[in-house]
Structure 1
C-alpha cells in the first residue's frame, strides 16, 4: 500500500484557506487555525552543556531525589473511558514530546517546561514518549522515572492523571498525560 504524501507548507496553507470557506458537516469541527509563528528565541538551548550547569542555570528543581522518597508510585491514572477514547483517537492528543536519547536530568527539565507551556496554551491531553529502554527484560531509565516525576510537587499542579499509551501511540514506551484545567 502506498504511503500518503504529507503536505508541504504551501499546500497546507492553501488547503486551510479552502477549508475555511466551507461549512462543516453536522457534528464535525473546523480544522484548527494555523498556529502563529513562534517568536525567535534569545538563545538556543545547547544540550551539549553539562547537565548540572543546564539545570542550575535554568533554576529548575533537580530531578534526582533519594529513591527512598520516591518509592511510592502515584495512582492518578486516567479514567478508563478517557483512556479508551485517547487510544481510539476519539479524544485528540493535542501535543507530544519525545524524550528519547536525553539524560534523566535533561529529560526532566524538558518535560517540566513542555507541560508548563502546554497547560498555559490550554491543552488537556498530551503524549510523553519515554522509550521502553534498550535492554531486554528491563524498563528504561526515563520510563521508570516518569511516574515518580509526576508525583513531585513541581508536576502535581500541572498533571491530573496519566496512563500507559496504546500500542499505536508507543505502547509501553509512552504515556498519555491529562493536564489540569488552568
Structure 2
C-alpha cells in the first residue's frame, strides 16, 4: 500500500475537463433517472361538520326599522281584559258650578241623593219639551225641591243619542233657568241611565 496522497486536479485541469465533457453523450442504459418529487402530505379530513354559511339579511327598507321597534314594544305590553266603555258624546255642559260642595255633587252623581221630583219628556217635540222642562224647573225651585230627575230617553238616532238627550243639558244652562241649576249629571242605571239626568237646584231664598 502506498502512502502517497492522491493528486488533486488543478483549476486549469478542471476547466479542461468541463469543456471536454460538455459535448459528451452518456451511454444507453446508464442515464440517471430524474429524482422523483416528494409527495405532498394531504391533511386528514376533519370530523367536525362544515360550518353553515351565515344568513344574509335582505336590505331594510326605510321606515321598517321604526315599525319593527313599535311592534316589538306592543308585543311586550300586557293585554288587559276588554271592558265595555260608555262614552258620552253629547256636547252638553254637565257637572257642577261654583256654589256646590264636592260631597253633595258626588252624592248626586252616584245617585245617592234623594229625588224630590221627576218629569218624563217622552213623545214630546223639541218645542213642547223645551217649554215643559223650563216650566217644571221653575215650579220645582219655587216649591223648594233640590234634586229632580229629567227623563229624556235615548232616542233612535245613531249611537242612541236622541235629540232631547242632547238638548236638555243645554236648555238647563240658558236664561233665567240656568241661574236656578247648580249641577247636572247623567243618571245611574236604576234611574234611567243614559236616558235621564239628575238636576240639582239652588235652594229657594226665604222672604
TM (norm. structure 2) is: 0.48
- Offset at 1:136? 4.5
Structure 2 distance, partners of 1:76, 1:84, is 10
Q: What number of residue pairs does the alignment pair up?
A: 112
Match of residue 194 from structure 2: 172
Match of residue 74 from structure 1: 93
Match of residue 113 from structure 1: 135
- Secondary structure at the aligned position of 1:119 is classed as helix
Please tell me whether residue 140 in structure 1 is matched to residue 159 in structure 2: no
- Offset at 1:148? 1.4
Q: Which has the larger radius of gyration?
A: 2
Q: What's the CA shift string for 1:25-82, capped at 9, x where partnerless?
A: xxxxxxxxxxxxxxxxxxxxxxxxxxxxxxxxxxxxxxxxxxxxxx974354376643
Structure 2 distance, partners of 1:93, 1:115, is 14
- Secondary structure at the aligned position of 2:159 is classed as coil
| Stretches of 4+ aligned residues off by more than 6 angstroms | none
Structure 2 gaps of 5+ residues are 1-89
1:148-163 matched pairs, under 5 angstroms? 148-163=170-185
- Secondary structure at the aligned position of 2:136 is classed as helix
Structure 1 distance, partners of 2:190, 2:91, is 29
Structure 1 gaps of 5+ residues are 1-70
Cα distance, 1:87–1:150 mapped onto 2, change above 3 Å: closer
Structure 1 counterpart of 2:145, from 97, 112, 123: 123
- Secondary structure at the aligned position of 1:106 is classed as helix
Task: Give the aligned CA root-mean-square deviation in angstroms.
Answer: 2.5
TM (norm. structure 1) is: 0.54
